[in-house]
Amino acid sequence: MDRKNIVIIGSGNVATHLAIAFLKAGHRILSVISRNQNNAAQIGEKTRSSYSSDYNSIPDETDFIIVAVKDEAIAEIASKLNAGNAIVTHTSGSVEMNVFENHAQNFGVFYPLQTFHKEKELEIREVPFCIEGNNETTANALSELAKSISNNIHFVNSEKRKVLHVAAVFACNFTNHFYAIAESILAEKNLSLDILRPLIKETALQVMDKNPSQLQTGPAIRGDEKIMQQHLNYLAAKPDLAELYKKLSESIKNYKR
């Protein structure tokens, strides 16, 4: 793909990883625009680009504007943009593409389906990118841009992307929350989460090539009421967790296998 001129709006985890990935792929980061000047400056230094807090300071030669901010800020930023001929796209899993409809001629979605942290490197070539465009030309242009940094590209419309985002919350956000709960339970007896890490790793590895519903283990799927009651007795002092335990156990027992 030819070298493209890119403006990044945002300075958080996603913006940081994408800016670095684009630079490594041979593209040029013209500017990083963010309310947080310090974070924008950090990305600017890493990508040899300028930084600003002015959403109207989009260079004329910009090919793509990547809006990588919190979902609730996208509409406001869209209303402030002076996009010119650039393709404008956001990285959200839940915001519709049409948020840009009255603010740009060519727009779309550039959604990386992954959890990002600035401090942790990841293999972005493996990250699925879900692409949508307001016309075929735009969709193809966004696909080509995605292909320059990833080998995992999918055309996904706004309706399907919302469903995908719900599934991702269950698979990632809720799962991580359960890790945090497990860590707090262990800490009460001076035990470390490290003792569970091999179990967590093996569970994740198994689901890579098998149907999760066929891998379910534990007292709920076995119908072991005695063990479940022991667990509930231990959680009696934590009614919220006890109720969560009950509901999840019922869900496991009733889920279609």
* Cα separation values, 45 from 20, 32, 37, 65, 146, Å: 11, 10, 12, 19, 23
Burial of 142 (0-12, 13-18, 19+ CB in 10 A): buried
Give, for all 257 residues of the chain, the pLDDT tens digit: 799 999 999 988 999 999 999 999 999 999 999 888 778 888 888 888 888 887 777 889 999 999 999 999 999 999 988 888 999 999 999 999 999 998 999 999 999 999 888 777 788 999 999 999 999 999 999 999 999 999 999 999 989 999 999 999 999 999 999 999 999 999 999 999 999 999 999 999 999 999 998 899 999 999 999 999 999 999 999 999 999 999 999 999 998 55
Ranges for all domains in the chain classified under CATH 1.10.1040.20: 162-254
pLDDT of residue 139: 97
What DSSP state is assigned to residue 188?
A: T
Structure tokens at 41: 């400056």
Q: Which amino acid, 133? A: G
Select from 27, 21, 235, 52 the least CA-distant residue to 141. Answer: 27
Distance CA 202, CA 182 (A): 16
pLDDT of residue 199: 96
pLDDT of residue 256: 58
Q: What is the pTM of this model?
A: 0.85
Select from 113, 79, 219 the least CA-distant residue to 67. Answer: 79
pLDDT of residue 48: 84
Candidate CATH numbers 1.10.1040.20, 1.10.260.40, 3.40.960.10, 3.30.460.80; the one for domain 162-254: 1.10.1040.20
Select from 5, 66, 16, 22 the least CA-distant residue to 41. Answer: 16
Contact yes or no for 14/71 (Cβ under 8 A): no
What class, spelled out in words, does domain 5-156 have in CATH? alpha beta
Which of left, alpha, beta for 218 (phi over 0: left; psi -120 to 50: alpha)?
left
Select from 137, 122, 131, 205 the least CA-distant residue to 164. Answer: 131
Select from 79, 137, 69 the least CA-distant residue to 103. Answer: 79
Helix, strand, coil tally for the chain in percent (to 5): 50, 15, 35
pLDDT of residue 161: 92
Select from 51, 58, 56 the least CA-distant residue to 32. Answer: 51
Ranges for all domains in the chain classified under CATH 3.40.50.720: 5-156
pLDDT of residue 97: 94
Element (H, E) at 184: helix 175-187
